[in-house]
C-alpha cells in the first residue's frame, strides 16, 4: 500500500482550503483505508488524484453562520454564480439558486448528492436548485474543479459539486439559531434535529434521520436605500414604466399637415398627475408620466423551507452493505412585484371619469375631442402589488448495495428523483377582461380614487389560483466495480481498474391552468404552453490508473453515452500525477465533453415577459420621445418602453461540445505550509443560450426578423395578439475561458492554541464568446456584457483560532470591480466598485455536547456597490453578486446527546 506522506496530508489541507480543520488533518494521517474521491471511481489511500478537488467541511461552515447551500456556493471562488434566491422574484423558480463553476452556465455544473444526480429545477432552468439539498444532513462538500468527469457524466463541463451526507451516526443532535440584520427586514430563523441508532459495525445496522427548518423574512425595496428606487437621474438610471398610477391617457387627432413628414394626425398624451408623478415628462405632442415600479419589489423574498433526510443501512456479512436513502425538501417562496400594468384600455366620453366631464380635469396641453375615445395605460395600485406563491418540492429515493466480491469493490443502486414546482397567484392580479370592461363601462376610475362600486368591482376582478405546474423526474439504475491489478511496472504500487454503467430516464412536464393564464397577461404565461418531453440515457465507462514509476502515475478514462434523441458520444479523459519528492506534486488532465440540450431547453413553453430595459421602437420611435415626428407614433406606447420578449424552448437545438485542460502544482516549502496553483482552460462550441435583448434593439436591421408586430404594426403588449421580439434558446457560437486557481494553508500550534490560515482565489485570464456561430468575439472579463460580468478575481481568506473549549475566526470574501452594463460615463457611473465582506465569529463549548456560536456577517456593513444593471427586477445594485441584508448578527446553540 502507498504510504501517505506529509505532502499528501498537506495537499489535502489545500484541497480543503481554509475549511479543513486541524483535527481532520490529524485523523487523515491516522486512517489508511481506501476511500473514494469525487472525480474517480477507484478507491485509493492517497486522496490526491490527477484532478483538483476542494473539500469543504460543513462543521466549519456552521461556525461561520452558514445555514443554506446558496451560502456555501457563494464561498467557492471558482463559481461565478449569478442566480440566487433574490432573483426568484418575478419568476416561477420557487426560490431556486444555482451553481455556476467557471461562469459557463449552471447547466454545465453537475450537482450530485452522495455521488448521484438529483432532478433539475422544473422551472426557470435546466440545472439543479442547490437550495433543495438538505444542509443539516451534510458532512462535507467536494468540488471537482475539472470538467467532463468520465465517472459522473460528460455534461459536467464546468465541474462537479458533490454534496455528501453523513453515512451513519448514533445519538441525537439539536440546533437552533437566528440571523438578525441591523437594518429592518430579512430576519431568518433555523432549527434542526437529528437522531440515529445502531452501530453499523457492531449491531450490523444503523437508522438515522435529520429534520431541518428554515424561515426567511422578506426585505422590501423601501427597507434599503440602495435598492429603493429605479429613477436615479444623477446616475443615469431610469428603470421606470409608461404604465402609471394615476393613468396616462392619449388621443389621436387630426392636425394640419406636418411640413416635414406630411402627417395629418398626431397622438397627444397627458396625465392628470404629471406634476406629482415619479418622473414627469414633456413630449412635442403632450405631457407624460413615468412610474417607478421598482419600489414595490422584494429585494429578498419571503421563504419557508422544511427538509427531511433519512437513511437505513444494514450489513450482510462482513463485506456487504445495503441501504435505503430518502430526502424531501419543500420550499414555499412568496414574492411581490409592482401592481399589474393594464395597457390597451379604451374610454369614451360616456364615462363619468372621462377627462373634462367634471371628475377628471381636462388636459392642459391640448383640447380633447369628446367624440373620440382615449387610450388608457393604468396600474391598478388599489389591488396591491402582484404577489406570487411558489411551492417547490424536491425528493429522491435511493436503494443501494455495496461491498467486496473476489477482490472487486462494487456498488449498485436504483434511484428516483423528482422536482415539482407549483406556481400560484395569491394577490394583486386582476381578470384582464373585467378591467377592460370596467374602464369601458365607466365603473373604474383610472385617474383617481375609486367609488364604492369601483372598489367592489376590483375585488370581484381579483384573480387567484394555480397558474402552472412543472415537474421533472430522473430515475434509473447504476453500478460499478473496481479492483487493484498488481504492480505492473515495479513502481511499488498496484495498477487499478474501474468499470461502470448507468441507465436513466428523464421526463419533463409543464401544465398550464388555462382558466387563469388566459386572464392574466402580465404573468407572461402562454395559455397554450402545456408541454412535455422525455428521453432515455445509457452510459458505459472505464477508468485505469497506472503507477508507472515510484513518482509518476497515469490515469485514463473513457465514457460512452447514448441519448435516445441525440445519438451517441464517446469522450476520453487522461491525466497524470507526478510527485518527485515529498514536498512537490504536479498534476494535470485533458478531457472532452458533450452536453445534450436539457429537456427544459428543448420543451420549455414559449412565454412572454417584459424586457429588463426600456427601449424605443426602432420603426415607430426612431428619434426617441423628445424628437417624435413619425405620423403613427404614440410616445406612451412606442418610446422608452419595456416591450414584450418571447423566451422558451427550441426543438432545433444541437448539443454543446467542449475541451478541458488543467495543470497544477502543490508544494510544501516548510512544515505545515502548503501552496497550490492550478491552471485551467475550457473551450465550448455550439453553446446554448439566448440572444440578449440589447443586441436585438441595438441592431434592428440585422435582427428585423425577430420583431413580431401586431396587426397594427406596433410592438404594443395590448390585446390577445400583442407585438413582441423573439429570443428563445439557441446555439450561439463558441466560448473560450482560462484562468488560475490559487490556494494556501498554514497551521501553527503554540501555547496550547492552534491557529489556521487559509486562502483560496480564482483569477480569470480570459473569457470570450460569440453571440452567433462564426460571429465576432465578445470580451467579458471585468465587464458586464449581455447576461452579466465575469469577475477577474475572487478570493476567500479564513483565519481560525482554537484553544480548549474556545474558538474564534474571521472570513474575508472579495470580488473585483468591473465595467457596468449601460454605458453612461466611463469615469464614474459606468464602474461597479469591488465588493468585499468581513465576517467574525466565536464559539464556546461550556459543557459536553453543548456548543454556542455567535458572529457578525458583513461586519463593516458594506452596502452593495451601485450598478445600473437592468437584468433583474431589483435596481440600483446587482443582487446576483451581493447581499442586501447588510450587517447581520447571528447566534447558534447546538446540543448532542
By CB atoms closer than 10 A (0-12, 13-18, 19+), residue 318 is exposed
Contact (CB, 8 A) for 104 and 127: no
- Asked whether residue 15 carries a pLDDT value surpassing 60, the answer given is no
- Asked whether residue 809 carries a pLDDT value surpassing 50, the answer given is yes
Cis geometry, peptide bond prior to residue 169 (ω within 30 degrees of 0): no
pLDDT in tens, 601-613: 898 888 888 787 7
pLDDT in tens, 416-426: 999 999 999 99
Task: Write down the pLDDT at residue 24.
Answer: 31
- Among all chains, which residue has been given the C-alpha cell 422544511? 306
By CB atoms closer than 10 A (0-12, 13-18, 19+), residue 36 is middle
What are the residue ranges spanned by the domains of the chain?
6-222+300-337+389-428+466-605+651-692+729-896
Q: How far apart are the C-alpha atoms of 336 and 475, rounded to whole Å?
A: 35
Output 758 or 240, whichever has higher pLDDT.
Answer: 758
Task: Write down the pLDDT at residue 31.
Answer: 38
Q: How far apart are the C-alpha atoms of 534 and 476, rounded to whole Å?
A: 13
By mean pLDDT, which of 227-241, 627-641, 672-686 is the weakest?
Answer: 627-641
Contact (CB, 8 A) for 209 and 170: no
By mean pLDDT, which of 97-106, 144-153, 244-253, 482-491 is the weakest?
Answer: 144-153
pLDDT in tens, 283-305: 555 567 888 888 889 999 999 99
Mean pLDDT of 150-173: 88
Task: Write down the pLDDT at residue 26.
Answer: 30
By mean pLDDT, which of 449-463, 564-578, 625-639 is the weakest?
Answer: 625-639
Mean pLDDT of 154-158: 87
List the grid coordinates of 537. Answer: 440515457
List the grid coordinates of 408. Answer: 472487486
| pLDDT level of residue 52 (50, 70, 90 thresholds) | confident
- The CATH architecture to which 6-222+300-337+389-428+466-605+651-692+729-896 belongs is Beta Barrel (2.40)
Task: Write down the pLDDT at residue 365.
Answer: 80
Mean pLDDT of 674-692: 93
Task: Write down the pLDDT at residue 727.
Answer: 93
Cα end-to-end span (Å), the chain: 38
561: Cβ–Cβ under 8 A, 6 or more apart, which residues?
153, 154, 537, 538, 539, 568, 569, 570, 571, 594
| pLDDT level of residue 48 (50, 70, 90 thresholds) | low
The rounded percent of the chain whose pLDDT value lies above 70 is 89
Contact (CB, 8 A) for 228 and 221: yes
Q: How far apart are the C-alpha atoms of 296 and 278, rounded to whole Å?
A: 13
- Asked whether residue 404 carries a pLDDT value surpassing 90, the answer given is yes
Q: How far apart are the C-alpha atoms of 47 and 492, rounded to whole Å?
A: 18
Contact (CB, 8 A) for 599 and 653: no
DSSP codes, 446-466: TTSPPPHHHHHHHHHHB--EE
DSSP codes, 8-77: HHHHHHHHHGGGS-HHHHHHHHH----B--TT-SS-BSS---SS-EEEEEHHHHHHTT--SHHHHHTT-T
| pLDDT level of residue 398 (50, 70, 90 thresholds) | very high
| pLDDT level of residue 435 (50, 70, 90 thresholds) | very high
pLDDT in tens, 374-396: 999 899 888 899 999 999 999 99
Buried b (16+ CB within 10 A) or exposed e, 76-101: bbbbbbbbbbbbbbbbbbbbbbbbbb
Q: Is 274 helix (H, G, I), strand (E, B) or coil?
A: helix
Question: pTM for the complete prediction?
Answer: 0.88
Mean pLDDT of 409-422: 95
Task: Write down the pLDDT at residue 125.
Answer: 61
Q: How far apart are the C-alpha atoms of 458 and 1, rounded to whole Å?
A: 77
- Asked whether residue 357 carries a pLDDT value surpassing 50, the answer given is yes
Task: Write down the pLDDT at residue 12.
Answer: 40
For the chain, what is the mean pLDDT? 87
For the ranges 9-23, 230-244, 595-609, the maximum mean pLDDT occurs at 595-609
Contact (CB, 8 A) for 106 and 788: no
Half-sphere exposure of 308 (CA within 13 A, CB side): 9
Amino acid at each position: 500500500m502507498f504510504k501517505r506522506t506529509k505532502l499528501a496530508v498537506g495537499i489535502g489541507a489545500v484541497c480543503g482550503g481554509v475549511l479543513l480543520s486541524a483535527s481532520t488533518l490529524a485523523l487523515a494521517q491516522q486512517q489508511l483505508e481506501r476511500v473514494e474521491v469525487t472525480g474517480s471511481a477507484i478507491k485509493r489511500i492517497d486522496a490526491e488524484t490527477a484532478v483538483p478537488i476542494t473539500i469543504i467541511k460543513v462543521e466549519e461552515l456552521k461556525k461561520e453562520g452558514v445555514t443554506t447551500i446558496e451560502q456555501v456556493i457563494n464561498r467557492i471562488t471558482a463559481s461565478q454564480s449569478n442566480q440566487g434566491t433574490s432573483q426568484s422574484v418575478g419568476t416561477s423558480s420557487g426560490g431556486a439558486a444555482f451553481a455556476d463553476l467557471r461562469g459557463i452556465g449552471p447547466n454545465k455544473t453537475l450537482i450530485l448528492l452522495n455521488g448521484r444526480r438529483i432532478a433539475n429545477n422544473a422551472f426557470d432552468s435546466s440545472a439543479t436548485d442547490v437550495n433543495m439539498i438538505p444542509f443539516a444532513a451534510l458532512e462535507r462538500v467536494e468540488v471537482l474543479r475539472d470538467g467532463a468527469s468520465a465517472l459522473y457524466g460528460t455534461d459536467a463541463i464546468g465541474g462537479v459539486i458533490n454534496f455528501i451526507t453523513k453515512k451513519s451516526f448514533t445519538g441525537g443532535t439539536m440546533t437552533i439559531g437566528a440571523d438578525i440584520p441591523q437594518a429592518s427586514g430579512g430576519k431568518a430563523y433555523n432549527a434542526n434535529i437529528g437522531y440515529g441508532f445502531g452501530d453499523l459495525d457492531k449491531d450490523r445496522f444503523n437508522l438515522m434521520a435529520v429534520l431541518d427548518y428554515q424561515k426567511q423574512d422578506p426585505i422590501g425595496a423601501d427597507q434599503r436605500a440602495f435598492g429603493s428606487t429605479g429613477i436615479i437621474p444623477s446616475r443615469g438610471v431610469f428603470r421606470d414604466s409608461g404604465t402609471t398610477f394615476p393613468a396616462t391617457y392619449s388621443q389621436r387627432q387630426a392636425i394640419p399637415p406636418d411640413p416635414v413628414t406630411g402627417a395629418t394626425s398626431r397622438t397627444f398624451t397627458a396625465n392628470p398627475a404629471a406634476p406629482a408623478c415619479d418622473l414627469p415628462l414633456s413630449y412635442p405632442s403632450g405631457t407624460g408620466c413615468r412610474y417607478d415600479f421598482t419600489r414595490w419589489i422584494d429585494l429578498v423574498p419571503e421563504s419557508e423551507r422544511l427538509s427531511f433526510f433519512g437513511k437505513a443501512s444494514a450489513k450482510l456479512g462482513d463485506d456487504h452493505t445495503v441501504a435505503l436513502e430518502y430526502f424531501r425538501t419543500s420550499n414555499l417562496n412568496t414574492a411581490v412585484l409592482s401592481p399589474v400594468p393594464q395597457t390597451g384600455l379604451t374610454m369614451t366620453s360616456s364615462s363619468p371619469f372621462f377627462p373634462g366631464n367634471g371628475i377628471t380635469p381636462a388636459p392642459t396641453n391640448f383640447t380633447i375631442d369628446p367624440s373620440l375615445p382615449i387610450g388608457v395605460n393604468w396600474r391598478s395600485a388599489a389591488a396591491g402589488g402582484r404577489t406570487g406563491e411558489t411551492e417547490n418540492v424536491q425528493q429522491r429515493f435511493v436503494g443501494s448495495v455495496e461491498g467486496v466480491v473476489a477482490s472487486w469493490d462494487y456498488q449498485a443502486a436504483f434511484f428516483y428523483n423528482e422536482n415539482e414546482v407549483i406556481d400560484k397567484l395569491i394577490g394583486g392580479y386582476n381578470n384582464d377582461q373585467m378591467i377592460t370592461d370596467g374602464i369601458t363601462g365607466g365603473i373604474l376610475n383610472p385617474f383617481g380614487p375609486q367609488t364604492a362600486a369601483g372598489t367592489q368591482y376590483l375585488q370581484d376582478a381579483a384573480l387567484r389560483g394555480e397558474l402552472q405546474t412543472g415537474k421533472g423526474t430522473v430515475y434509473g439504475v447504476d453500478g460499478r466495480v473496481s479492483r487493484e491489478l498488481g504492480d505492473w511496472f515495479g513502481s511499488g504500487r498496484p495498477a487499478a481498474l474501474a468499470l461502470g454503467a448507468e441507465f436513466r430516464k428523464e421526463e419533463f412536464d409543464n401544465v398550464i391552468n388555462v382558466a387563469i393564464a388566459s386572464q392574466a397577461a402580465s404573468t407572461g404565461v402562454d395559455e397554450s404552453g402545456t408541454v412535455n418531453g422525455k428521453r432515455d440515457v445509457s452510459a458505459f465507462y472505464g477508468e485505469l490508473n497506472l503507477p508507472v514509476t515510484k513518482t509518476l502515475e497515469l490515469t485514463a478514462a473513457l465514457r460512452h453515452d447514448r441519448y435516445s434523441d441525440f445519438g451517441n458520444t464517446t469522450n476520453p479523459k487522461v491525466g497524470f500525477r507526478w510527485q518527485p519528492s515529498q514536498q512537490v506534486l504536479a498534476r494535470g488532465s485533458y478531457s472532452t465533453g458533450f452536453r445534450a440540450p436539457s429537456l427544459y431547453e428543448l420543451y420549455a413553453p414559449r412565454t412572454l415577459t417584459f424586457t429588463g430595459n426600456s427601449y424605443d421602437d426602432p420603426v415607430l420611435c426612431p428619434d426617441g420621445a423628445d424628437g417624435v415626428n413619425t405620423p403613427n407614433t404614440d410616445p406612451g406606447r412606442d418610446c422608452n418602453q419595456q416591450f414584450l420578449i418571447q423566451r422558451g424552448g427550441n426543438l432545433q437545438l444541437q448539443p454543446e461540445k467542449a475541451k478541458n485542460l488543467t495543470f497544477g502544482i502543490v508544494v510544501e516549502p516548510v512544515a505545515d505550509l502548503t501552496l497550490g496553483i492550478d491552471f485551467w482552460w475550457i473551450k465550448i462550441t455550439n453553446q446554448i443560450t439566448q440572444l440578449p435583448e440589447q443586441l436585438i434593439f441595438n441592431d434592428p436591421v440585422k435582427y428585423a426578423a425577430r420583431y413580431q408586430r401586431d396587426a397594427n404594426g406596433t410592438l404594443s403588449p395590448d390585446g390577445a395578439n400583442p407585438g413582441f421580439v423573439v429570443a428563445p434558446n439557441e446555439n450561439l457560437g463558441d466560448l473560450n475561458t482560462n484562468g488560475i486557481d490559487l490556494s494556501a494553508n498554514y497551521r501553527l500550534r503554540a501555547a496550547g492554541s492552534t491557529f489556521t490560515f487559509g486562502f483560496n482565489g480564482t483569477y480569470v485570464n480570459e473569457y470570450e464568446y460569440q453571440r452567433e456561430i462564426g460571429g465576432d468575439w465578445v470580451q467579458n472579463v471585468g465587464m458586464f456584457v449581455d447576461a452579466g460580468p465575469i469577475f477577474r478575481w475572487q478570493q476567500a481568506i479564513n483565519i481560525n483560532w482554537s484553544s480548549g473549549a474556545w474558538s474564534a475566526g474571521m472570513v474575508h470574501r472579495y470580488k473585483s470591480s468591473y465595467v457596468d452594463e449601460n454605458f453612461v460615463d466611463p469615469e464614474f457611473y459606468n464602474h461597479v466598485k469591488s465588493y468585499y465582506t468581513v465576517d467574525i465569529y466565536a464559539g464556546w463549548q461550556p459543557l459536553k455536547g453543548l456548543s454556542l456560536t455567535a458572529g457578525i456577517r458583513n461586519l463593516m456593513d458594506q452596502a452593495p456597490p451601485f450598478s445600473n444593471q437592468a437584468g433583474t427586477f431589483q435596481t440600483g445594485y446587482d443582487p446576483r453578486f451581493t447581499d442586501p441584508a447588510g450587517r447581520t448578527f447571528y447566534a447558534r446553540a447546538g446540543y448532542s446527546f
